[in-house]
C-alpha cells in the first residue's frame, strides 16, 4: 500500500535532505518539493512569506497535493516537503482524501541557530534571508503542535532524522488521515 508523508518545518529545517534520504530507501518513491511548484510560476509570483501570498500558497498546496495523489494512486510512496502550517494542511488533506491512503505529517523543529546556519548554505530555488528564517521559526513555535508528530533534529543527520520519521510513522504517531 502506498502512503503520503508530509515533512514540514521552517526553511532550513532539513525537509528536502530528509525526503531525499527516505526516497533512496524504498522502491517506487516520489519526492514532491513544494519549492518547485513556486518556481513553476513564471509571472506573478508573490514571495510565499509575504502577506499577499495567501491565495497563491493555498493554490500551490492544492497543486502539490493533487500531484501527490496521482502518484499515490499508482502505488508510489510519496514524500512531500514544504513549509506547511495549520492554515495549509487542510488543503492537502482535502485533496488526498479521495486517494484513500494513509497520510502522515511530521514537523521538523531544529533550533533557530541550526536553521539559520543551514539556511545560509542552501542552494535551492527559494533562498530565504536569515531574518525571515528566524521569523519562520517563531511562526512555527507560535502555532505549537498542530498535527502529527514533531521531531527536534537539531543534532541529527538527515539519515538519523529519516530513521526517526519512519519509526514515528510506523508507530502511527504522525498519522493525520486514515484511508477510508
Give which of 22, 23, 21, 28 is closest to 2, Cα–Cα: 28
Q: Which residue has the cell 488526498?
A: 96
Residue 171 has pLDDT above 90, yes or no: yes
Q: What is the mean pLDDT of residues 53-73?
A: 97
Alpha-carbon span 88 to 76, nearest angstrom = 23
**pLDDT score of 69:** 97
User: 135 and 70 in contact (C-beta within 8 Å)?
Assistant: no
| Average pLDDT rounded to a whole number, residues 7-34 | 94
Name beta bridge partners: 149.
Answer: 106
Helix, strand or coil for residue 33? strand
pLDDT of 93 reads 96
Give me 82's grid cell. 514544504
Give me the domains of the chain, ranges plus CATH numbers. Answer: 4-177 (3.40.50.300)
Closest CA to 105 of 61, 45, 75: 61
pLDDT tens for each residue of 103-129: 999 999 999 888 888 766 665 545 667
Q: pLDDT tens across 23-52, in order?
A: 999 999 999 999 999 999 999 999 888 899
Amino acid at each position: 500500500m502506498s502512503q503520503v508523508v508530509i515533512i514540514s518545518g521552517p526553511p532550513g529545517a532539513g525537509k528536502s535532505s530528509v525526503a531525499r534520504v527516505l526516497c533512496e530507501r524504498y522502491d517506487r518513491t516520489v519526492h514532491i518539493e513544494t519549492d518547485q511548484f513556486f518556481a513553476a510560476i513564471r509571472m506573478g509570483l508573490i514571495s510565499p512569506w509575504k502577506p499577499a501570498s495567501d491565495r497563491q500558497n493555498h493554490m500551490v498546496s492544492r497543486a502539490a497535493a493533487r500531484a501527490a495523489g496521482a502518484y499515490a494512486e499508482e502505488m508510489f510512496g510519496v514524500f512531500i516537503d514544504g513549509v506547511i502550517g495549520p492554515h495549509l494542511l487542510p488543503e492537502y488533506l482535502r485533496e488526498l482524501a479521495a486517494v484513500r491512503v494513509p497520510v502522515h505529517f511530521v514537523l521538523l523543529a531544529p533550533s533557530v541557530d541550526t536553521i539559520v546556519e543551514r539556511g545560509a548554505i542552501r542552494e535551492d530555488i527559494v533562498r530565504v534571508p536569515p531574518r525571515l528564517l528566524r521569523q519562520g521559526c517563531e511562526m512555527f513555535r507560535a502555532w505549537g503542535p498542530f498535527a502529527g508528530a514533531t521531531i527536534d533534529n537539531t543534532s541529527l543527520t538527515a539519515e538519523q532524522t529519516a530513521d526517526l520519521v519512519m519509526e514515528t510513522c510506523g508507530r502511527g504517531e504522525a498519522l493525520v488521515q486514515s484511508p477510508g
